[in-house]
């Protein structure tokens, strides 16, 4: 079946604009995660969704970041009033559940560049 799909693959925008990133998880995967990797840094956890439970937003770096997920399907990550430090590769992952032995399946990412 299809893997995790992210769009757009690349996004260049001016500082101060809002951007919306999309993630389609693998069908049947109840858990969905957003991560980002800034230049020279490791992958950084942003937010986690599990089924219909309230998301864990503990990794969001500021209130300019928000994310939604419709049921157990598509998720969107929105960054308002973008800043240059938001430039990063944003990765989405999904897994069958939240058991610690469940691997996370990643999309190809969205490379976001803020001018």
Exposed/middle/buried for 112, CB within 10 Å: 0-12, 13-18, 19+? buried
Q: Please identify, using beta-carbon distances, which residue of 4 and 79 lies nearer to other proteins.
A: 4
Are 46 and 23 within 8 A, CB to CB? no
Give, in order, the Cα–Cα distances in Å from 34 to each of 1, 14, 21. Answer: 21, 22, 10
Residue of 27, 78, 102, 113 that binds other proteins (CB under 8 A): 102
* Site track 22-41 with other proteins (rule: CB under 8 A), x = hit: ---------x-x-x----xx
For residue 85, give the DSSP letter: G
Q: Does 65 bind other proteins (CB under 8 A)?
A: no
Residue 3 touches other proteins, criterion: CB under 8 A: yes
Instruction: Check residue 103 for interaction with other proteins (CB under 8 A).
Output: yes
Answer whether 101's CB lies under 8 Å from 25's CB.
no
Q: Which window, 14-22, 42-50, 60-68, 78-86, contacts other proteins (CB under 8 A)? A: 42-50
Phi, psi values for residue 17, rounded to 5°: -80, 160
Which of 44, 57, 74, 76 is in the footprint of other proteins by CB under 8 A? 44
The contact set with other proteins (CB under 8 A) reads 3-4, 31, 33, 35, 40-45, 48, 50, 56, 59, 91, 98, 100-109
């Amino acid at each position: 079946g299809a893997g995790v799909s992210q769009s757009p693959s690349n996004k260049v925008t001016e500082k101060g604009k809002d951007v919306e990133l999309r993630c389609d998880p693998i069908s049947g995967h109840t858990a969905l995660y957003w991560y980002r990797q800034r230049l020279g840094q490791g992958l950084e956890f942003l937010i986690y969704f599990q089924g219909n439970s309230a998301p864990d937003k503990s990794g969001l770096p500021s209130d300019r970041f928000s994310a939604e997920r419709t049921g157990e399907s598509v998720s969107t990550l929105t960054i308002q009033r973008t800043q240059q430090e938001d430039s990063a590769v944003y990765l989405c992952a999904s897994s069958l559940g939240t058991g610690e032995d469940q691997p996370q399946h990643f999309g190809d990412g969205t490379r976001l560049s803020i001018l």
